[in-house]
């Protein structure tokens, strides 16, 4: 189906505004989703899975194939980074795995639930109950203070926060003395830490982070990455992070490299240096020497 025909495309257009959009969307949902218990294990240990995932934007001559039959398994309890040149399909992959975007072909599962084919309402509920999101632009509600922003998704869902967990999240992120501040009264790093706390507050099954350190100074960025790492190591959360930064990717367990809408490589136990070296090969492919035939991945 062409995306322009699809009503859910509004979500794609408003990618960065998704948290706010979904708050409104989700507020409209009145039925609690008891069947989607957060953290419910899937039978095969994958938090998310895609087979033959294909995403085309537009139609006819202007069609852009953003994802080209991607097969991927996101292992539960691991920190996965997604890297690749600009336009390689990183954000599209994340959005399709998270049910924020429709697919053109193929199947996507979150745990043991196939999300391709779910109706909008079911998908919205599934996202609300089982997924945490962090975006580069923090998407905090300006009229709410930090604590209210952190618990907003749970408040909307009618869930009571686990106070001990929330305390741990707040303390680890150094937000204890900022809870009554509104976003405008917080630094960029503090705002992203609030967004991080919000994503973790309900202990979602899977956290998707799109360039979560993109707007942060290096110290704040390291703090956020350290917390995501701890969330995986100590709290057995699953994190998928899109990043351009080899240093950020080095905090992950596994880096998936995308090029032209395909997963072309992966790297376990990455270091900033090894990721940088791998990324340089994309630069060579993108900019062949004069007269040289472009190499294909």
Ligand X SMILES: Nc1ncnc2c1ncn2[C@@H]1O[C@H](COP(=O)(O)OP(=O)(O)OP(=O)(O)O)[C@@H](O)[C@H]1O
Chain-centroid distance, C-alpha 70: 17
CB of 39 to ligand X, least distance (A): 28
Q: Between residues 67 and 166, which has the closer beta carbon with respect to ligand X?
A: 67
Instruction: Choose the stretch contacting ligand X; rule: CB under 6 A; options: 85-93, 120-128, 190-198, 265-273.
Output: 85-93
| Residue 88 touching ligand X (CB under 6 A) | yes
End-to-end CA distance of the chain: 28
Instruction: Choose the stretch contacting ligand X; rule: CB under 6 A; options: 22-30, 58-66, 142-150, 281-289.
Output: 58-66
Q: Between residues 196 and 258, which has the closer beta carbon with respect to ligand X?
A: 258
Q: How many CB atoms lie within 10 A of CB 10?
A: 10
Chain-centroid distance, C-alpha 170: 21
How far is 22 from 12, CA to CA, in rounded Å?
12
Residues in 98-137 at the binding interface with ligand X, rule: CB under 6 A: none
Considering only 89, 111, 153, 212, the residue that binds ligand X (CB under 6 A) is 89
What single string gives the DSSP state of each residue in 112-124?
TEE-TT--HHHHH
Q: Between residues 12 and 22, which has the closer beta carbon with respect to ligand X?
A: 12
Would you call 74 helix, strand, or coil by DSSP? strand
Instruction: Choose the stretch contacting ligand X; rule: CB under 6 A; options: 44-52, 86-94, 138-146, 174-182.
Output: 86-94
Q: How many CB atoms lie within 10 A of CB 121?
A: 12
Tokens of 126: 């599934």
| Residue 246 touching ligand X (CB under 6 A) | no
Considering only 48, 78, 84, 199, the residue that binds ligand X (CB under 6 A) is 84
| Residue 92 touching ligand X (CB under 6 A) | yes
Q: Between residues 64 and 235, which has the closer beta carbon with respect to ligand X?
A: 64
Instruction: Sort 18 into a burial class: Cβ within 10 Å, 0-12 / 13-18 / 19+.
Output: buried
Under a CB-based contact definition with an 8 Å cutoff, are residues 76 and 43 in contact?
no
| Residue 87 touching ligand X (CB under 6 A) | yes
| Closest residue by Cα to residue 241 from 258, 226, 228, 227 | 228
Q: Between residues 67 and 194, which has the closer beta carbon with respect to ligand X?
A: 67
Interface residues toward ligand X, by CB under 6 A? 12, 57-58, 64, 66, 84, 86-92
């Amino acid at each position: 189906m062409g995306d322009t025909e699809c009503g859910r495309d509004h979500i794609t257009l408003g990618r960065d505004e998704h948290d706010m959009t979904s708050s409104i969307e989700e507020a409209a949902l009145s039925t609690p989703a008891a069947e989607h218990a957060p953290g419910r294990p899937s039978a095969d240990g994958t938090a998310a899975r895609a087979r033959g995932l294909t995403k085309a934007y537009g139609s006819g001559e202007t069609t852009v194939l953003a994802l080209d039959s991607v097969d991927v398994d996101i292992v539960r309890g691991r920190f996965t980074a997604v890297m690749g040149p600009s336009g390689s399909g990183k954000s599209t992959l994340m959005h399709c795995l998270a049910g924020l975007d429709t697919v053109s072909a193929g199947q996507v599962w979150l745990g043991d639930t196939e999300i391709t084919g779910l109706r909008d309402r079911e998908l919205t509920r599934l996202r609300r109950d089982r997924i945490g999101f962090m975006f580069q632009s923090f998407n905090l509600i300006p009229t709410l203070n930090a604590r209210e922003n952190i618990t907003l998704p749970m408040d909307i869902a009618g869930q009571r926060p686990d106070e001990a967990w929330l305390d741990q999240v707040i303390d680890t992120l150094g937000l204890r003395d900022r809870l009554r501040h509104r976003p405008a009264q917080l630094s960029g790093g503090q705002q992203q830490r609030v967004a991080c706390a919000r994503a973790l507050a309900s202990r979602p099954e899977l956290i998707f982070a799109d360039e979560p350190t993109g707007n942060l100074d290096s110290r704040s960025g390291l703090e956020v990455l350290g917390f995501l790492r701890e969330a995986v190591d100590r709290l057995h959360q699953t994190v998928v992070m899109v990043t351009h930064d080899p240093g950020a990717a080095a905090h992950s367990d596994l880096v998936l490299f995308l090029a032209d809408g395909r997963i072309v490589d992966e790297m376990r136990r990455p270091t900033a240096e090894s990721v940088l070296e791998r990324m340089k090969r994309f630069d060579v492919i993108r900019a062949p020497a004069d007269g040289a035939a472009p190499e294909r991945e």
